[in-house]
């Protein structure tokens, strides 16, 4: 029932703002479960957790996060689209449990305040529609906001960059290639697990990262200089 209503709201907003929405339907429950796997796998004795969701849309994944909240957890939900933000607030006031633990933030990710303040970041941002400079800023914000040993989870639609490239102009291919290079470098440097979700439209790959170990600056500044496919970045939003 809710998913059908969510699809209708999503499609209406997609028609109004097509260029800023990087999906064709809300995320499936299978993708939502994969995106929240780190929360499920967390230790029962883990202290109260601070969670940030970015790009929540109509709340398909937000609802699954809320179901995994424990006493003392706090969830901040960032959504820059005003209509989606209003829908999230309506849901928060009606059918979500633990609503006092959830806060909706209508702002760009880069404006979310704090340093090393979230144990989990779950991102649904459509990275593949952004300019490469904005993708760098997104990952810089992740690095600033994520606590040491915290987990960053994001998903990419499988093979979208490769499927799009033959049908776009040279400038767009270069942009896609730069985005693929940035995302791929983070995946190679920091990924500790991933999940492939076929039961989604389109199918998706979920990446789980811990931004520790190799130099973050190295990942943030990596840009491939040729059109050779980047290993580890063969999926895209």
User: Is the model's pLDDT at 88 over the cut of 50?
Assistant: yes
Mean of pLDDT over the chain = 81
- Tens of pLDDT, residue by residue over 177-207, are 999 999 999 999 999 999 999 999 889 999 9
Within a 10 A sphere around the Cβ of 91, how many other Cβ atoms?
21
pLDDT at 96: 65
User: Is the model's pLDDT at 130 over the cut of 50?
Assistant: yes
pLDDT at 86: 87
Count each helix (H run) and each strand (E run) in the chain, helices first.
9, 8
User: Is the model's pLDDT at 65 over the cut of 90?
Assistant: yes
Of how many residues is the chain composed? 237
* Domain ranges, residue 107: 2-236
DSSP string, 178-203: HHHHHHHHHHHHHEEEEEEE-SSSS-
pLDDT at 229: 31
The mean pLDDT value for 34-42 works out to 94
The answer to pTM > 0.85 is no
* HSE (side-chain half, CA atoms, 13 Å) at 230: 24
The mean pLDDT value for 75-94 works out to 86
**How many domains does the chain divide into?**
1
Confidence band (pLDDT; 50, 70, 90) for 213?
low
CATH number for 166: 3.40.50.150
pLDDT at 201: 87
Buried b (16+ CB within 10 A) or exposed e, 21-43: bbbeebbbeebbbbbbbbbeebe
Confidence band (pLDDT; 50, 70, 90) for 40?
very high
pLDDT at 195: 97
DSSP string, 103-147: EEE-S-GGG---SS-EEEEEE---GGGS-HHHHHHHHHHHHHHEE
Cα maximum dimension of the chain: 52
Identify which has the larger pLDDT, 98 or 42.
Answer: 42
């Amino acid at each position: 029932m809710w998913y059908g209503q969510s699809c209708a709201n999503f499609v209406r907003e997609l028609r109004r703002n097509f260029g800023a929405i990087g999906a064709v339907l809300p995320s499936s429950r299978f993708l939502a479960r994969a995106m929240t796997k780190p929360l499920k796998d967390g230790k029962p004795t883990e202290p109260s957790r601070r969670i940030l969701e970015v790009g929540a849309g109509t709340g398909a994944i937000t609802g699954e996060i809320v179901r995994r909240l424990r006493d003392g957890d706090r969830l901040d939900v960032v959504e820059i689209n005003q209509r989606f933000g209003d829908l999230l607030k309506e849901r928060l006031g009606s059918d979500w449990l633990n609503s006092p633990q959830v806060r909706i933030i209508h702002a760009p990710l880069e404006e979310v305040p704090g340093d090393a303040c979230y144990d989990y970041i779950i991102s649904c941002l459509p990275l593949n529609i952004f300019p490469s400079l904005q993708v760098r800023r997104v990952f810089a914000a992740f690095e600033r906001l994520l606590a040491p040993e915290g987990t960053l989870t994001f998903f990419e639609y499988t093979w979208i960059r490769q499927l799009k490239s033959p049908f776009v102009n040279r400038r767009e291919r270069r942009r896609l290639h730069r985005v693929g290079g940035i995302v791929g470098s983070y995946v190679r440097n920091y990924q500790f697990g991933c999940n492939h979700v076929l039961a989604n439209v389109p199918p998706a790959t979920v990446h789980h990262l811990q931004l520790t170990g190799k130099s973050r600056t190295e990942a943030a500044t990596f840009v491939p200089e040729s059109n050779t496919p980047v290993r580890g970045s063969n999926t895209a939003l």
